[in-house]
Amino acid sequence: MVANRGEIALRIIRACREMGIETVAVCSKADENARYLEQADFTVCVGPSEAEGSYMNIPSLISAAEITDIEAVHPGYGFLSEVGHFAEVCESSNIVFIGPGSEVLKKLGNKTEARKIAIANKIPVVPGSESVIKNQQQALDVAHKIGYPVIIKASSGGGGRGMRIAHNDITLVNSLSIAQREAEAAFKDSSIYIEKYIEDTRHVEVQIFGDAYGNIIHLGERDCTLQRRHQKLIEESPSPMISERLRDEICKAAVKIARAVNYTNAGTVEFLVDKGNNFYFIEVNTRIQVEHPVTEMVTGIDLVKQQIRIAYGERLNLKQKKIVNQGVSIECRVYAEDPRNGFRPQPGKITMYNPPGGRGVRVDSHVYSGYEISPYYDSLISKLIVHQKTREEAIACMRRALREYVIEGIKTTISLNLELIAHPQFASGNINTNFVENFLSKN
Ligand code: ADP
């Protein structure tokens, strides 16, 4: 059973079909007529359009699982994918949860706890509070110790939400209660912590995989520096900006953290890399990532199939030394958003859809001409992925594919992606996480 929707639900269903596994798709009222559901063997409507009542509704999902007598649940990303309680309920209902166990989800789902695990294993973390911030004075003490600017983050945070940067005591004090309220509203957990805000930084993350027999490997890194509002927009592998030595160190650090918690299944260990090439652990995402295709392209490994095999108790059939990352892969996320209007979501009908193709081009999407984009969910409608021998060729291929891509009826991020990909600074690889915001303020 695929406990998700949209492009990732279709991605998982496709992998299952190729493996000869029957699938149950679940859907909300809003998605009932979506065509990707036809690719599943069965579909169960699990609730109303609002995700709280459907894709996030554990009792409803478990009854769908029981009615259809399924063996395993793939949670995709977002929704319940990192909710320890959901994994626990699956485990106690004899349903295989395709991901790390509930214990690991609980340990790593709390970012302050994950930081502590990193520190205990001598992995560098961003300087910051040792634990959750309890009061204003403690926040001020931490900020004075590490120095401004600082960033306030939610312990249960995700999706780039609920982060606030403070440059002095006044903004810190003002932001604290706002950040706590935002965290409570978004994650039902008001606890926050503080890190030094690293101004000129890149985001580099490592794909890890573990099995139930203690084998843990990494599949190299992804560079996700190109972000809007702390959310990724363009990702690539390998990172164009790190040396072989740094890559090796970061990948080893990721495996070390995974080992410390007996990690199983797919996961991503995220780091920031500063101007001086110092790297700092920020968090572990205990699920398949949106940007997993770039790793699939350079390694030739189907990550979703691996997830399923490992969840079923198979041993990792991959040896670290045999993993060879080849060529360069870039992914552009296509959102139904207006980039020139604060990335405002663009629900509505796609009147014309004509995706690109050709050598080295992959499109992961569930949409088509006539598809209605619902206002209820994340506005990601497609991922455009290219794979070529060199970065130069990958950029040229992406430019060509973005120009070919036709989506009419709504505004999307295609044109912005094209401008960013064509920018000489992107070609040089010399960018930081503020690149998109700086670009938009000047253009
Ligand atoms: P989330 O779980 O919400 O995605 P992360 O901790 O993974 O949050 O951070 C998301 C992004 O926010 C990072 O890729 C980076 O751009 C920015 N960020 C997070 N922490 C810091 C920091 N200490 N300094 C600078 N930027 C940060």
> Which CATH number do you get for residue 80?
3.40.50.20
What burial class does residue 214 get, using C-beta atoms within 10 Å of its C-beta: 0-12 exposed, 13-18 middle, 19+ buried?
Answer: exposed
Does any domain span residue 109?
Answer: no
Rounded Cα–Cα distance for residues 387 and 396 (Å): 11
Residues 147 and 169 in one domain: yes
Does any domain span residue 312?
Answer: yes
Mutation test of ligand 1: which of 142, 152, 163, 232 has the most ligand atoms closer than 8 Å to its C-beta?
163
Return the pLDDT at 160: 81
Pocket, ligand 1, Cβ cutoff 6 A: 126, 151, 157-161, 163, 195-198, 201, 203, 227, 230, 270, 272, 282-283, 433
Q: Is the pLDDT of residue 39 over 90?
A: yes
- 350-371 pLDDT, tens digit per residue, is 999 999 999 999 999 999 999 9
Does any domain span residue 291?
Answer: yes
In this structure, the residue with its CA closest to atom 17 of ligand 1 is: 230
Domain region containing 366: 202-442
Residues 307 and 335 in one domain: yes
- 300-337 pLDDT, tens digit per residue, is 999 999 999 999 999 999 999 999 999 999 999 999 99
- 74-115 pLDDT, tens digit per residue, is 999 999 999 999 999 999 999 999 999 999 999 999 999 999
Mutation test of ligand 1: which of 221, 229, 230 has the most ligand atoms closer than 8 Å to its C-beta?
230
Which of 98, 117, 148 delimits the end of a domain? 98
- How close is the Cα of 261 to the center of ligand 1, in Å? 22
Which atom of ligand 1 has the smallest separation from the CA of 203? 14
> pLDDT exceeding 70 applies to what percent of the chain?
100
b/e burial code for range 312-330 (CB count within 10 A of at least 16 → b) = eeeebebeeeebebebbbb
> Which CATH number do you get for residue 182?
3.30.1490.20
> Which CATH number do you get for residue 235?
3.30.470.20
Q: Is the pLDDT of residue 173 over 90?
A: yes
> What is the residue-wise DSSP string for 410-426?
S--SHHHHHHHHT-HHH
Beta bridge partners of 218: 208
Residues 414 and 346 in one domain: yes
Residues 178 and 235 in one domain: no
Does any domain span residue 119?
Answer: no
Does any domain span residue 275?
Answer: yes
Catalytic positions:
287
Return the pLDDT at 348: 97
Does any domain span residue 402?
Answer: yes
Rounded mean pLDDT of 24-28? 98
Does any domain span residue 115?
Answer: no
Residues 407 and 349 in one domain: yes
Rounded mean pLDDT of 241-261? 97
Q: Is the pLDDT of residue 31 over 90?
A: yes
Which of 163, 196, 229 delimits the end of a domain? 196
Rounded Cα–Cα distance for residues 376 and 24 (Å): 22
Residues 191 and 208 in one domain: no
- How close is the Cα of 256 to the center of ligand 1, in Å? 21
Residues 190 and 223 in one domain: no
How big is the chain by its Cα radius of gyration, in Å?
21
Rounded Cα–Cα distance for residues 153 and 194 (Å): 6
Going through 242-307 in order, the beta strands assigned E by DSSP cover 265-274, 279-285
- How close is the Cα of 59 to the center of ligand 1, in Å? 33
- Give Cα 307 distance to the centre of its chain: 16
Residue (of 439, 440, 433) closest to 200 by Cα position: 433
Q: Residue for token digits 């009147």?
A: 351
In this structure, the residue with its CA closest to atom 23 of ligand 1 is: 197
Return the pLDDT at 158: 87
Instruction: Give the model's confidence band at 208: pLDDT under 50 very low, under 70 low, under 90 confident, else very high.
Output: very high
Rounded Cα–Cα distance for residues 350 and 368 (Å): 7
Residues 139 and 226 in one domain: no
In this structure, the residue with its CA closest to atom 21 of ligand 1 is: 197
Residues 212 and 185 in one domain: no
Residues 207 and 338 in one domain: yes
- Contact criterion met (CB below 8 Å) for 366 and 34: yes
> pLDDT exceeding 90 applies to what percent of the chain?
97
Residues 229 and 293 in one domain: yes
Give the chain's end-to-end CA distance (angstroms, integer).
45
Instruction: Give the model's confidence band at 161: pLDDT under 50 very low, under 70 low, under 90 confident, else very high.
Output: confident
Q: Is the pLDDT of residue 159 over 90?
A: no
∠ CA 116-120-125, rounded to 5° = 60
- The tally of domains found in the chain comes to 3
Residues 139 and 162 in one domain: yes
What would the two tokens of residue 186 be?
A: 């978004």
